[in-house]
Chain A
């Protein structure tokens, strides 16, 4: 299904991004994983690029190299994001700006870079990784994170509308609480989740791959929440 497709995943050095990148590689795609911090070792099938998505020059350089090497981009997964546990009144201006720069400006810059190549190729798919925090108040996350993720869900709609006519679909996957080790979640919080456990990075892969695939060819502008049923009312 994804053989020969060129897939770019940002923030793919670890966590959800790494899991998504690995799955696309499993399916035979040519995968570029961009991150500010690259893993030691890493997956030999994946092309790792050190990039700060909040930096316009870094992003321009990244996509120039990708187009030079592969000639196209079929799928872009905007996953790079940072977060801080921070009460609102304790958020400094610098930290506010930093979170928005990585989480939101990063999506803007990377998306801008793929529009022309995708349009020239007749289409493409963009999957933005948002968050449950973009739709509902999520304890443990700072207001800057919430705001950036809400913006991503809404930006997804505008992009879907503007880019739809070029054959580019844009959707968003909104993870719930995701931990490298689900047993880290206290039992009283686990009990509030219908499927009885915290999410792990692998849980987000299916939705992302689906939305990027031809099976979702009539789906655009949507935010799909993947959270074990923790949140459903939005």
Chain B
């Protein structure tokens, strides 16, 4: 029996990259997954169904209140409940490493709208159902770059630091309803997004990271799955307001 058996989870940004790993992994653990993304979620839904799982694809723009409300409504209509929400959707791979003064205001605003406001709006849309159910789990994806203060991505780093404050404060406000809120801070993960981000930046990302790490291998999207499943499972029932740092022993060591 899977650790997320019969649980319904919405995972934003799960049509691709790390989010897709979360969706596939959650389904393998028995969860019914809402694959929510701004790009077409159908291929991931098909992958889950082909493996015998249950999934619903929803196209969503997390920076839009209306769109997030529709996402929650669609989840409830299909599955009747929402047990966990993974706020994974974020602008990252579409960005480029650059000096902070080269970030124009429009780009700054877009990153905040998706990465921070999006997390707020998804929680707003989903928490009422969790309150009625007297329980639920919210997992917000932050980043190790927010702990380390990584240069070259100021808007991204700032947005991910906001995830930490949001997680701690929201946990205190919804704890009485049996809802836990935690965050995962991944280290720099070798995904398509990371490759694109650092392309042509002249920065030797992978090698430099390895020298500083306890575990001598690069981080892959799959490395994050265990943490997500754990936080969504009953094994994490008494954990809330916390950061789970998954980075091979890099930033906090």
Interface string of A195-234 (1 = CB under 8 A from B): 1100100010111011001111111111011111100110
* A11–B140 alpha-carbon span in the complex (Å): 35
B76 in contact (CB, < 8 A): no
Q: Which residues from 195 to 253 on chain B have a C-beta closer than 8 Å to any C-beta of chain A?
A: 213-216, 219, 223-227, 229-230, 233-242, 244-249, 252-253
Q: Judging by beta carbons under 8 Å apart, are A228 and B248 in contact?
A: no
* A233–B164 alpha-carbon span in the complex (Å): 10
B3 CB, min distance to chain A CBs, angstroms: 9
Question: Which residues of A lie under 8 Å from residue B38 when comparing CB positions?
Answer: none
A157 in contact (CB, < 8 A): yes
* A207–B238 alpha-carbon span in the complex (Å): 10
* A160–B176 alpha-carbon span in the complex (Å): 36
From B233, B234, B238, B247, A218 is in contact (CB under 8 Å) with B247
A194-B240, A206-B236, A224-B242 known; A216-B180 Cβ under 8 A: no
B163 in contact (CB, < 8 A): no
* A210–B215 alpha-carbon span in the complex (Å): 18
Q: Judging by beta carbons under 8 Å apart, are B242 and A164 in contact?
A: no
From A196, A210, A217, B223 is in contact (CB under 8 Å) with A217
Q: Judging by beta carbons under 8 Å apart, are B252 and A210 in contact?
A: no
Q: Judging by beta carbons under 8 Å apart, are B226 and A210 in contact?
A: yes
Q: Judging by beta carbons under 8 Å apart, are A203 and B238 in contact?
A: yes
A63 in contact (CB, < 8 A): no
Question: Which residues of B lie under 8 Å from residue A165 when comparing CB positions?
Answer: 214, 216
Question: Which residues of A lie under 8 Å from residue B229 when comparing CB positions?
Answer: 215
Q: Judging by beta carbons under 8 Å apart, are B226 and A161 in contact?
A: no
Interface residues on B, range: 35 or more
From B234, B238, B246, A219 is in contact (CB under 8 Å) with B246
* A218–B224 alpha-carbon span in the complex (Å): 8
Q: Judging by beta carbons under 8 Å apart, are B176 and A218 in contact?
A: no
A169 in contact (CB, < 8 A): yes
Question: Which residues of B lie under 8 Å from residue A169 when comparing CB positions?
Answer: 215
A194-B172, A196-B175, A207-B235 known; A213-B215 Cβ under 8 A: no
A83 CB, min distance to chain B CBs, angstroms: 20
From A218, A221, A228, B253 is in contact (CB under 8 Å) with A221
Question: Which residues of B lie under 8 Å from residue A216 when comparing CB positions?
Answer: 226-227, 230
* A227–B226 alpha-carbon span in the complex (Å): 21
In this complex, how many residues of chain A approach chain B with their Cβ under 8 Å: the count is: 35
Question: Which residues of A lie under 8 Å from residue B171 when comparing CB positions?
Answer: 194, 229, 232
Q: Which residues from 144 to 199 on chain B have a C-beta closer than 8 Å to any C-beta of chain A?
A: 168, 171-172, 174-176, 178, 180
A206-B236, A218-B246 known; A195-B180 Cβ under 8 A: yes
* A221–B223 alpha-carbon span in the complex (Å): 15
Interface string of A155-169 (1 = CB under 8 A from B): 001001100110001
Closest to B213 in A: A164
* A219–B243 alpha-carbon span in the complex (Å): 12
A111 CB, min distance to chain B CBs, angstroms: 15
Question: Which residues of A lie under 8 Å from residue B213 when comparing CB positions?
Answer: 164
A194-B172, A195-B240 known; A220-B215 Cβ under 8 A: yes
* A164–B249 alpha-carbon span in the complex (Å): 9
Question: Which residues of B lie under 8 Å from residue A194 when comparing CB positions?
Answer: 171-172, 174-176, 240-241
Question: Which residues of A lie under 8 Å from residue B175 when comparing CB positions?
Answer: 193-196, 228-229
* A207–B246 alpha-carbon span in the complex (Å): 14
Closest to A1 in B: B3
A194-B176, A206-B233 known; A220-B248 Cβ under 8 A: yes
Question: Which residues of B lie under 8 Å from residue A209 when comparing CB positions?
Answer: 235
Question: Which residues of A lie under 8 Å from residue B238 when comparing CB positions?
Answer: 195, 199, 203, 206, 226-228
From A164, A205, A225, A227, B214 is in contact (CB under 8 Å) with A164
Q: Which residues from 179 to 204 on chain A have a C-beta closer than 8 Å to any C-beta of chain B?
A: 193-196, 199, 203
Max chain B Cβ within 10 angstroms of own Cβ: one of A165, A195, A228, A233: A195
Max chain A Cβ within 10 angstroms of own Cβ: one of B216, B224, B229, B242: B242
Q: Judging by beta carbons under 8 Å apart, are A164 and B240 in contact?
A: no
Residues of B within 8 A of A (CB): 168, 171-172, 174-176, 178, 180, 213-216, 219, 223-227, 229-230, 233-242, 244-249, 252-253
Q: List 9 A-B pairs, Cβ < 8 Å.
A: A161-B249, A169-B215, A195-B238, A210-B226, A215-B227, A217-B223, A217-B226, A220-B215, A232-B242
For the complex of A and B, the 8 pairs showing the least CB-CB separation, nearest first, are A194-B175, A206-B235, A215-B226, A164-B214, A232-B241, A218-B223, A203-B238, A221-B249
